[in-house]
Amino acid sequence: MDNSHAFTTYWSGQVPFVASFALQQLRLWVSTNQWFSGHDHDAWFEIPSETLNSLQADYQQQWGQLGHQMLTRQPFSFDDRRFASGNWSEPMFGSLAAFYLLNSSFLLQLLDTLRIEQEKPRQRLRFLVEQAIAASAPSNFLASNPDALQRMVETQGASLFTGLMHLASDLQEGKMRQCDSGAFTVGVDLAISPGEVVFENELFQLIQYYPQSESQYQRPLFIVPPAINKYYVLDLRPDNSMVRHLLEQGHPVFLMSWRNFDEELADTSWDDLIEHGVIQALQVTRAISGEPRLNCVGFCIGGTLLSSALAVLAARDDREIAGVSLLTTFLDYLDTGPISIFVDEELVAYRERTIGGQGGAVGLFRGEDMGNTFSLLRPNDLWWNYNVDKYLKGQKPIPLDLLYWNNDSTHLPGPMYCWYLRHTYLQNDLKSGELECCGVKLDLSAIDAPAYILATHDDHIVPWRSAYASTALLSGTKRFVLGASGHIAGVINPPAKQKRHYWTNNLITKNPDSWFKGAKQQPGSWWNDWFAWLAKHAGERQPAVARLGSEQYPPLEPAPGRYVKQ
């Protein structure tokens, strides 16, 4: 018998109850977690013995092979970027990573065998297990991370001191910063497209931008950004600013800048954001431009707010809209992706009592909480990698404008947030046509204007099939385009960089997968396709305006304005 076979035989005898032990731990976890109260836990763990035996046999074989590789001091190699450096090829650290990956894979396979018929409990348990797996990686700890140890030696301990300073700063802010707070300055190297604030109230400022072309289209472009983060995701640096590119195409651009809500505005409702936010901004844009038919653009929840406002206006017999562009926007919340695991009646009712005004108390939903939650949906990409680089290695994050914006979160007023959470993520009745909003029935099918609907293939915040569902709710002609990448990077994709691709199909089918099957992949940025669509609905070209604002709405201050800096 060779040494390899002897080692495998020995260790397979020492690990006979791996599957049973793991199941016991999962059962204990489930029984003590309130997420799973009211479910028949015992039925979940009735797994055929042959299934467990097969899993355990595969595990023991791989366990033995890794053990032999470690004892014979063979180098390790990994596709996982957490263990990509040469330091992890050494037997001591490499074996830690290899056994960690084996155990992680085994646990996830075991999870898939559980007889959980309902989707939400299954998603919740998988989320918890994936969080535990991500947190327990050997790369996350100084003593078991050879890269961090090497850097500590090379810097004579300075990396540890710097890491502690980074940790203290993040704890003070209440969030894991993915970009240093001093990497950019809004109004200096971000959000620098020239313009003027031409209107403001307590909820928003309206920015009108200076032309960047000799002639402009007749119809202005009115943009509603997300209220969750600040508007300048659409106006980052000049080379990737959507605002600047639209101006260069000849579109007059008006854009809302939402306020970062504070305690004084904590009682603001969804109706307030529609009536005194989007609708008022739209009417001011009409008044300044003298053009009643606007091209309207909404991004993420900005698209949901815009669509709600247009439905309210339609109920008031105001349908003067040239076109609607919805970028990674929910109207039908049929599949809300990983975020759905957090939302249930208990959570929503708790928020309504504590910040939503139903228990008498109003407050804010803090941006840091939402930012941390979204980061933990992708723990290895948006959380633990920064823990390693910042705290263990003492390195500053790479200065990326998108990540800087992502950390510049805003607070939401409790009543508005609770109304949104209940009628979208929980009940999905925003599309029902029966909800009261601003004194009328909110009927999305009353929006009878040409619509350009963009989704992104890898979006974990607005899954693309849910964005596609908007094609069945709106009444005008529709064009659906699917971009590559995720929720932000897939949208902010300027043509000059020739990055990524997108899919088009002129036929809108009932089923999104049928649409995708017939779609053609196009190289480069979806912006070119959108610009061509916008041009068809923008009216005639005319000389560019010489002055911004109007006699009724004179410029108040230069863009980007005060609100975005709060």
> Tens digit of pLDDT for each residue in 141-200?
999 999 999 999 999 999 999 999 999 998 988 888 888 888 999 999 999 999 999 999
Which of 117, 148, 179 terminates a domain? The answer is 148
Q: Do 114 and 213 fall within a single domain?
A: no
Query: Which two three-digit tokens encode residue 56?
Result: 């355990």
Give the full edge-to-edge strand order of the sheet including 478-483.
520-523, 501-504, 478-483, 451-456, 321-327, 294-299, 221-224, 253-258, 204-209, 195-200, 557-558
In a domain, 262, yes or no: yes
Residue 547 contacts residue 555 (beta carbons within 8 Å): no
Q: Do 331 and 461 fall within a single domain?
A: yes
56: confidence class by pLDDT, cuts 50, 70, 90: confident
Which of 88, 122, 148 terminates a domain? The answer is 148
Most confidently predicted of 114-118, 221-225, 375-379 = 221-225
Taking each helix axis from N to C end, the angle separating 18-31 and 91-113, rounded to the nearest 10 degrees, works out to 60
Q: Do 530 and 463 fall within a single domain?
A: yes
Tell me the CATH number at 521.
3.40.50.1820
Residue 417 contacts residue 227 (beta carbons within 8 Å): no
378: confidence class by pLDDT, cuts 50, 70, 90: confident
In a domain, 349, yes or no: no
Helix (H, G, I), strand (E, B) or coil at 456: strand
392: confidence class by pLDDT, cuts 50, 70, 90: very high
Domain containing residue 92: 3-148
pLDDT per residue as tens digits for the range 512-531:
999 999 999 999 999 999 99
52: confidence class by pLDDT, cuts 50, 70, 90: confident
73/76 Cα distance (integer angstroms): 9
Confidence check: pLDDT of 6 > 50: no
The pLDDT score that the predictor gives to residue 53 is 84
Q: Do 138 and 211 fall within a single domain?
A: no
18: confidence class by pLDDT, cuts 50, 70, 90: low
Residue 549 contacts residue 555 (beta carbons within 8 Å): yes
Question: Chain-wide mean pLDDT for the chain?
Answer: 92
429/312 Cα distance (integer angstroms): 16
Active site residues: 300
The pLDDT score that the predictor gives to residue 165 is 94
Contacts of 277 (CB under 8 A, 6+ apart): 203, 204, 256, 258, 305, 309
| Total number of domains in the chain | 2
Helix (H, G, I), strand (E, B) or coil at 134: helix
pLDDT per residue as tens digits for the range 325-367:
999 999 999 999 989 999 999 999 999 999 998 888 999 999 8
The pLDDT score that the predictor gives to residue 15 is 39
Residue 259 contacts residue 230 (beta carbons within 8 Å): no
pLDDT per residue as tens digits for the range 240-278:
999 999 999 999 999 999 999 999 999 999 999 999 999
Confidence check: pLDDT of 307 > 50: yes
The pLDDT score that the predictor gives to residue 24 is 81
Cis peptide before 560 (omega within 30 of 0): yes
Q: Do 211 and 127 fall within a single domain?
A: no
Whole-Å CA distances, 521 to 329, 466, 566: 22, 20, 42
Q: Do 143 and 209 fall within a single domain?
A: no
Q: Do 129 and 200 fall within a single domain?
A: no
The pLDDT score that the predictor gives to residue 14 is 38
Residue type, 101: L
Whole-Å CA distances, 201 to 151, 252, 280, 308, 417: 52, 22, 10, 20, 20
52/20 Cα distance (integer angstroms): 8
Print the SS3 string covering 475-502.
CCCEEEEEECCCCCCCCCCCHHHCCCEE
Residue type, 73: R
Phi, psi dihedrals of residue 429, rounded to the nearest 5°: -115, 10
Kindly report the CA angle at 176 between 170 and 181, in degrees rounded to 5? 65
284/374 Cα distance (integer angstroms): 34
Confidence check: pLDDT of 368 > 90: no
Q: Do 82 and 211 fall within a single domain?
A: no
Q: Do 143 and 260 fall within a single domain?
A: no
Most confidently predicted of 39-43, 63-67, 538-542 = 538-542
In a domain, 328, yes or no: yes
Contacts of 272 (CB under 8 A, 6+ apart): 203, 416
pLDDT per residue as tens digits for the range 427-486:
999 999 999 999 999 999 999 999 999 999 999 999 999 999 999 999 999 999 999 999
Residue 99 contacts residue 105 (beta carbons within 8 Å): no
Which of 148, 168, 203 terminates a domain? The answer is 148
pLDDT per residue as tens digits for the range 483-504:
999 999 999 999 988 889 999 9
Confidence check: pLDDT of 111 > 80: yes
Residue 488 contacts residue 514 (beta carbons within 8 Å): no
In a domain, 375, yes or no: no
In a domain, 56, yes or no: yes
In a domain, 184, yes or no: no
17: confidence class by pLDDT, cuts 50, 70, 90: low
Q: Do 130 and 231 fall within a single domain?
A: no
Share of the chain above pLDDT 70, in %: 97
In a domain, 264, yes or no: yes
Q: Do 123 and 64 fall within a single domain?
A: yes
The pLDDT score that the predictor gives to residue 297 is 98
542/540 Cα distance (integer angstroms): 7
Q: What is the mean pLDDT of residues 279-285?
A: 98
Q: What is the mean pLDDT of residues 532-549?
A: 96
In a domain, 406, yes or no: no
